[in-house]
Structure 1
Amino acid sequence: MSEPAVGRSQLQKRLGLPFAIAIMAGSVIGAGILRTPGVVANEVPMLWVAMLLWVLGGVYVFLSVNVAAELTVALPKAGGIYVPVREAFGDSMGLLAGWAVWAGYAAGGAALALAFADFLGTSVPLVAANKPTVAIIAMLAVTLLNLPGVEEGCVSNILGLAIKLSLLACVVVAAMIAGPASPTASDAAPDLTGQGSVFGWVALITAFQIVLGAYDGWQGPAFFAEEDKDPAHNIPRAFFRSAAIIMVVYLVINLCVFAVLDLELLRSSELPVAMVVEGLLGPAGHTMTGLAAAIMALFTLNALVMTHPRILFGLARDGLFLHHATYVNRGGTPWVAMLVGTAIAIPMILTGAYVFVFKIQVAAAILASVLYNAAYFTLRRNRPDLPRPFRAWGHPVLPGMILAITFALLVAVIVADPESGLWVGGLMAICIPVGLHLGHKRRVAKATGTA
């Protein structure tokens, strides 16, 4: 079979199970896990409560991929969440879901590039003095790596996950060798129970939101289903195996941090894993952790840059974005869509606009998740004939649980931040008429034979 010509709007089936696992686990496991244990512990300073929240976060991912596995293999097309939402609810809601997810990836790219520069700057003074420039260079370098073709991105993501897991394994070894540390001269053992600590429901909910943020990015395999050689076999396995890897890694890292660091030391640390490594290597441990975090941020950025073009490709192919975003080069990369994402991320790096986008996108992304899980039930009812090589376990109870959870999260976010709710309402006010107009235009073109 000859390769598609440059500009042809067709993705290529070059990916398999190792990549699907790497893109999910690699998108989730990043430098964030080096920071978040301290942030969560600051909100809920009790070992068993913090660990319970991390377990519940893992359960949330398992419930989510249970639904995603069915929807993805039933509709194995590029676009991720957007695809079943549009199939179930039409162009308007599909456009809303697609743009919400893509905006999150654009903002996430800017944030990760800056995080790379920030971590690298802890050990390289020249970088610390030029963080925006270094972040832009990182963004361009990762884009150039992925631009030639899918094979390059596949190898770099698998390699990236292997390096991340190796670095985190070093943290576990350091924790086992170093033993407990104390912020004072006292020989008292670390307080693992947090007895006497007081926190309320707001702190508990905030901590859980932070945990869910650390687990975010699990949708990876769905974006590449169209390019998988055997999606019916590979996608469900990738979802569940990656979810297991992520949950185990997160629980082990948290246990190590709690076991080594005094509770108050943990709560006050911006990079608690660095303190664990310092227990073994001394002051050099902080520098080593900064370099490791920079590497992890860079590989996570690599996964994101490879993913976001598939969202624009799916939107463009369905007439919901510029047609040029469907152009695919000989290597299988939607190159125009990739360049659009990078072009949007660079101004965000320079202006800090990604913070504003994240603020709106949190509520929009949760709304997209609600629509996605609702699409599961809608398609079960309206498209019973749709081939489903994998069917979600525990129907309708388990899928119903994740729908209820995402809806509750949406309500909680809007109540806590009404301004974001207003922005989401404005986004809906734009997407609904635009989606209806584009859908009508496409139907007219089809009827008149001009499509």
Structure 2
Amino acid sequence: MPKAGGLFVPVRLAFGNAIGLLAGWTDWLSYVAGAAMLAVVSAEFFALLVPAANDHIAITATGVALGSMLLNYFGVKEGAAFQLIGSLLKASFLFAIIAIIFLVEPTKPAAPQSTLTETVEPLGLFAIVAAYQLVYGAFAGWTAPVNFSEEDVNTSRNLPRGLFLSLLTITGVYFLVNASLLSALPVEQMRASELPVAVALENIFGATGGKIVAGGALLLAASCMNSSVMVMPRIIYGLGRDGLFPNVVTKVNRGGTPHVALLCSMALMIALVFTGGFDFLFRLMGALTILILVLYQASLFGLRRKFPNLERPYRARLYPWLPAAVLVLDAVLLVLFVTSDFFGGAVMLGLVAICLPIGHYLARERGKAS
């Protein structure tokens, strides 16, 4: 179904307007929270380069967000060009870091492994869930190409390639980065550092190594944030076009950008920047992401039952057992994510609940029109 709006498109077709709105709204919120988190991360890395900005993280993050908004406001081509260049640069930077840590001998030896034994309390269930939530969030966004399926000239070929090659590439990069760090630093030193890559490069280049990592990390975070900013307006544009959101968000400027949808997205994104730091926003994004994926996975079964003759260019292997196992696993994780962080869960449920009066209003308007 090559149609703008992303994950809510099959959910709406399978379960109707109400659940479709819930899915689209949640998907939109997850990208907004993710973009806000990346804006905060960009500001924190900028503060490593310019220490005076350390006392103004939220203001700096807002400036980064507005810069990305302006870039995408002018048009699709400008935002896409920045994203392509940014992706190439950040991939080059990551592979360069991996090669340097593996191949270059450090001038400063790593801190020796401590021989002291410390008493570690057994991990509780909520601690394990909270840790896994960060892992889940780190891989969030792998479904993003779906949002551009209507703008793609060969969706049935390019979309699965984009999804699978991205997953394989990113998994490989994660593995190589961690392998390089484990070869260069003791585990205790990695555990004590928020930026172990910077520690490894400082052992090789001195203080300059930390600056290199901060600059590269700023590039990575800004590029990732820009991709989220490109996706956000397209989700509520699709909702608006299908009558599940006020029609004003379907306005498109000369550059091809849904500019009203972009402005609405940026307003909420900047508000979230001021509500909490990286950890809160990251967990919020993870919880919202798993909620939309649960709805998305359930739509596979709904569509098979409701539209058995729908064209299906690629197969769901081991259906229904493997997709059902994924659905059950993610549903259990969703409950654990919400209950392990009561404040974050309350914020997530509050944000999701905002769509209820919107849906009620739009349903009433459709009834009047009928």
2:207 is the alignment partner of 1:287: no
Question: Which residue does the alignment assign to 2:292?
Answer: 368
Contact between 1:86 and 1:93, CA under 8 Å: does it hold in 2? yes
Residues 1:404 and 1:246: Cα distance change in structure 2 (over 3 Å) = same
Work out the CA distance in 2 between the residues paired with 1:106 and 1:298: 14
Question: Which residue does the alignment assign to 1:127?
Answer: 53
Within the candidate set 240, 264, 278, 1:316 is matched to 240
2:81 is the alignment partner of 1:155: yes
Question: Which residue does the alignment assign to 2:266?
Answer: 342
Contact between 1:91 and 1:436, CA under 8 Å: does it hold in 2? no
Contact between 1:100 and 1:361, CA under 8 Å: does it hold in 2? no
Residues 1:377 and 1:147: Cα distance change in structure 2 (over 3 Å) = same
Question: Which residue does the alignment assign to 1:296?
Answer: 220
Contact between 1:146 and 1:152, CA under 8 Å: does it hold in 2? yes
Deviation at 1:183, TM superposition (A): 5.0
> Which residue identity is paired with 2:10?
P
**How far does the alpha carbon of each residue in 1:169-210 deviate from its partner, in whole angstroms, 9 at most, with x for none?**
1211121134587654x5x6x99xx9x988536354433222
SS where residue 284 of structure 1 aligns?
helix
Work out the CA distance in 2 between the residues paired with 1:423 and 1:96: 16
Query: For this pair of structures, how many residues does the alignment match?
Result: 367
Question: Which residue does the alignment assign to 1:398?
Answer: 322
Contact between 2:37 and 2:282, CA under 8 Å: does it hold in 1? no
Work out the CA distance in 2 between the residues paired with 1:294 and 1:305: 16
| Matching of residues 328-339 of structure 1 within 5 Å | 328-339=252-263
Work out the CA distance in 1 between the residues paired with 2:175 and 2:120: 22
Work out the CA distance in 2 between the residues paired with 1:113 and 1:353: 10
2:7 is the alignment partner of 1:81: yes
Deviation at 1:438, TM superposition (A): 2.9
Work out the CA distance in 1 between the residues paired with 2:338 and 2:57: 33
Work out the CA distance in 1 between the residues paired with 2:346 and 2:54: 37
| Matching of residues 206-285 of structure 1 within 5 Å | 206-285=130-209
TM-score, normalised to structure 1's length?
Answer: 0.74
Within the candidate set 292, 303, 317, 1:379 is matched to 303
Within the candidate set 112, 116, 122, 2:42 is matched to 116
Deviation at 1:336, TM superposition (A): 1.2
Work out the CA distance in 2 between the residues paired with 1:130 and 1:329: 33
Within the candidate set 232, 249, 261, 1:325 is matched to 249
Question: Which residue does the alignment assign to 2:17?
Answer: 91
**Which consecutive residues of structure 2, in runs of 5 or more, have no partner in the other structure?**
none
Using the TM superposition, name which of 243-252 and 349-358 deviates more: 349-358
**How far does the alpha carbon of each residue in 1:197-235 deviate from its partner, in whole angstroms, 9 at most, with x for none?**
885363544332221111111111011111111111111
Work out the CA distance in 1 between the residues paired with 2:200 and 2:350: 46
Residues 1:332 and 1:376: Cα distance change in structure 2 (over 3 Å) = same
**How far does the alpha carbon of each residue in 1:331-353 deviate from its partner, in whole angstroms, 9 at most, with x for none?**
22111111211222233334548
Contact between 1:112 and 1:298, CA under 8 Å: does it hold in 2? yes
Question: Which residue does the alignment assign to 2:100?
Answer: 174
Contact between 1:108 and 1:354, CA under 8 Å: does it hold in 2? no
SS where residue 311 of structure 2 aligns?
coil
Work out the CA distance in 1 between the residues paired with 2:186 and 2:99: 18
Deviation at 1:380, TM superposition (A): 0.9
**How far does the alpha carbon of each residue in 1:101-158 deviate from its partner, in whole angstroms, 9 at most, with x for none?**
2122222222222211210111223433543333222212211111122222222212
Deviation at 1:248, TM superposition (A): 0.5
SS where residue 237 of structure 1 aligns?
helix
Deviation at 1:87, TM superposition (A): 1.4
Deviation at 1:241, TM superposition (A): 0.8
Work out the CA distance in 2 between the residues paired with 1:179 and 1:401: 46
Work out the CA distance in 2 between the residues paired with 1:258 and 1:271: 14
Question: Which residue does the alignment assign to 1:52?
Answer: none
| Matching of residues 19-168 of structure 1 within 5 Å | 75-168=1-94
SS where residue 331 of structure 1 aligns?
coil
SS where residue 49 of structure 2 aligns?
coil
Deviation at 1:359, TM superposition (A): 5.8
**How far does the alpha carbon of each residue in 1:281-338 deviate from its partner, in whole angstroms, 9 at most, with x for none?**
1121111111111111111111111110011101111222221111112322111111
> Which residue identity is paired with 2:325?
M
Contact between 2:36 and 2:270, CA under 8 Å: does it hold in 1? yes
Residues 1:239 and 1:283: Cα distance change in structure 2 (over 3 Å) = same
Using the TM superposition, name which of 242-251 and 150-159 deviates more: 150-159
Residues 1:238 and 1:291: Cα distance change in structure 2 (over 3 Å) = same
CA RMSD of aligned residues (A): 2.9
Contact between 1:96 and 1:427, CA under 8 Å: does it hold in 2? no
Work out the CA distance in 2 between the residues paired with 1:76 and 1:169: 34
Work out the CA distance in 1 between the residues paired with 2:32 and 2:123: 34
Contact between 2:43 and 2:58, CA under 8 Å: does it hold in 1? yes
| Matching of residues 428-443 of structure 1 within 5 Å | 431=355, 434-435=358-359, 438-439=362-363, 441-442=365-366
**How far does the alpha carbon of each residue in 1:65-101 deviate from its partner, in whole angstroms, 9 at most, with x for none?**
xxxxxxxxxx221111211111111222122222222
Work out the CA distance in 2 between the residues paired with 1:390 and 1:439: 35
